[in-house]
Structure formats: structure tokens, C-alpha cells
Amino acid sequence: MKLPHRLHGKTICLIGLMAIFGPLGDVLLRKGMKQIGAVSSWHPEVLLNTFDRTFHSGPIWLGISSLLLFFIAYLLVLSWADYSYVQPASAMGYLFVAVLGYLLLGEVIPRMRWIGVLVICIGVLLVGGTPPRTTEEG
Amino acid sequence: MTGRDAIFLFIVIFAGTGGELAVTHTMKRVGEVQSFYPHHLLRVILRAFRCGWMWFGVSLMAFSFFSLLMLLSWENVSFVVPVTALSYVLGALGGKFLLGERVEARRWIGVALVCLGVLLVCVG
């Protein structure tokens, strides 16, 4: 898809914000859920208790705020760019999540998983970099 | 990956992709956002929420979000988020078999690489 010149600057800026706030939000959610603990029972009382603790967790709210900023940027971009144009921009998000998980949460990431994440990024770039429309109009 | 993880991953991918498509449909109807002043943005958001598709999309995304939270309570983020890339496989298969799109070779190669990457992340 070829965007008019006037849209390039704001598209790149908003996609940049998406690349930062999306992965950061996911990492903060993991931090919050780690503090709350694994959901180990489907008993309604346990679930309700987990739900309550989730919504009183600082990292969860920071994560939600970060994802909300990601979502707003995403909505704005989608108002002029196609879904298939915006999608590949999120490819690097998978790598950023792994890097942030390693740096901020100290997650142990085996070499095979790093390779897998890189292969996923390349795959997502290839999937997304195709013409936005392959069916007939109308 | 356990069976429980697989079920929640399935929900995250299906509800998330469905929600994104519904929201995209809404934003296309709302039209291009021209001004970034807060009151203009608020007006755009209010206009979007007057559309039924937006509510449907946001509900699906919320369902996907709570399933993601459950997954994140069990597994590392460096595992959970990369495996959700399987949504691209769903997108290509759905485009081909449900919408009758022509999916080119390059896209199939991408889909195959995403599958291979997820496999490596799972065994890693």
C-alpha cells in the first residue's frame, strides 16, 4: 500500500509508539501476574480472589496503561492505513518482548528460544509485506 | 506447553484476531483521524463506540486479554507472546479458505517460518 507523503511522518511516529508500549505492557502484565501467583484452581472463590488481586496490582495497571497507549496509536494508524500494512510493524515487538523479559524480569531464555523468536519475526515480516488487497472490489 | 496452555492460547489467538478485525472494520467506517487535539480524539472515540462492531471487537479483545493474563500467570512472557504469533497463521488460513483471498507464495513461506519459530520457542 502506498501512503500519501503527508501520512508518512505520523505513521512512522505512531508505529514507533506501538513498538515501545506493546511489549512493555506485556512485560508489566507478566510482572503483575507473577506477583499474584499462578491460577491453580477453577473454584469460583479462588478465581474471584485472583480477579480482585489482579485489579489491585500496580504493575497490572501500568501494563494496562501501556497497552492502552499502544491501542490508541494502533486505532489512529488504522484510520488511514490498512491492517496488512500495520501488521508487519508489530513483528519487532516479539523480539522486544523477549529482550525486555530478559532484562527486566530476568527470564532465562535458552538459545533455541532466541532463534525461534528471530524466525518468528522474519516470518511475520514476510506474512505482512504482501499487497493489502487480493480480492476484487465490490 | 501443557494442554491447559494450548486451550488458553487458542482463545487468545481466536478472540484477539476476531476483535482486531472488528475494530479495523469500525475505524474504516469512522474515517481517517485528521486532528490529534484531545477533544477531537475524544469525539472520534465516541463516534467509534456508537458502532456495534466496536463493542463486539472490544468484547472479544477483553476476552482475549483475560485469557492472556491467565497464561502469563503460568508461563514466562518470552514464551507466551512469541507463540501468539500463530495468529498470523490463522489470518492466512482464514483469508484463503473463508474469504477466498489469493495468498501468495511469499506469505505461505512467512506462515511456515512462524510455525517453525513457534516450534523452536516451545522446545527451547
Any CB–CB contact under 8 A between A3 and chain B? no
Is residue A38 included in any domain, yes or no? yes
Residues B23 and B69 in one domain: yes
pLDDT in tens, B24-72: 788 878 877 777 788 888 888 888 888 899 999 999 999 999 999 999 9
Is residue A66 pLDDT above 80, yes or no? yes
DSSP H/E element including B109: helix B105-123
Amino acid at residue number B84: T
Residues B94 and B61 in one domain: no
Q: For B59, how many CA atoms within 13 A lie in the half-sphere containing its CB?
A: 6
Determine the straight-line distance between the first and last CA of chain A, rounded to whole angstroms: 19
User: What would the mean pLDDT of B119-124 be, rounded to a whole number?
Assistant: 90
- For cell 511489549, the residue is A23
Is residue A138 included in any domain, yes or no? no
Most confident of A68-72, B41-45, B98-102: A68-72
Higher pLDDT, B109 or B99: B109
CA distances from A74 to A13, A69, B16, B32, B61 (A): 11, 8, 14, 13, 14
8 Å CB contact of A117 and B78: yes
Is residue A137 pLDDT above 50, yes or no? no
Per the structure, how many domains does chain A have?
Answer: 1
Residues B42 and B92 in one domain: no
Is residue A108 included in any domain, yes or no? yes
Nearest to B59 by CA among B24, B22, B28: B22
Residues B60 and B36 in one domain: yes
Residues B9 and B63 in one domain: yes
Residues B5 and B56 in one domain: yes
User: What would the mean pLDDT of B12-20 be, rounded to a whole number?
Assistant: 90
**Whether ipTM exceeds 0.90:** no
Is residue A134 included in any domain, yes or no? no
Amino acid at residue number A24: L
pLDDT in tens, A98-127: 999 999 999 999 999 999 999 999 998 888
Per the structure, how many domains does chain B have?
Answer: 2
Q: Which three cell numbers stand for residue A110?
A: 535458552
8 Å CB contact of A127 and B107: yes
Q: Which three cell numbers stand for residue B36?
A: 490529534
Residues B60 and B103 in one domain: no
Residues B60 and B89 in one domain: no
8 Å CB contact of B107 and A125: no
pLDDT in tens, B69-85: 999 999 999 999 999 99
Is residue A88 included in any domain, yes or no? yes
Residues B67 and B89 in one domain: no
Higher pLDDT, A137 or B29: B29
Is residue A138 pLDDT above 70, yes or no? no
By the 10 Å C-beta count (0-12 exposed, 13-18 middle, 19+ buried), A111 is classed as exposed
Cα–Cα distance, B124 to B120 (Å, whole number): 6
Q: Which domain range does residue B25 map to? A: 1-75
Residues B97 and B41 in one domain: no
Cα–Cα distance, B55 to B57 (Å, whole number): 5
Residues B63 and B9 in one domain: yes
Interface of B with A in 83-112 (CB under 8 A): 85, 88, 91-92, 95, 99-104, 106-107, 109-112
Q: Which three cell numbers stand for residue B14?
A: 481466536
Quick one: pLDDT band at residue A6, thresholds 50, 70, 90?
low
Residues B52 and B107 in one domain: no
pLDDT value of residue A32: 95
Q: Which domain range does residue A13 map to? A: 5-128
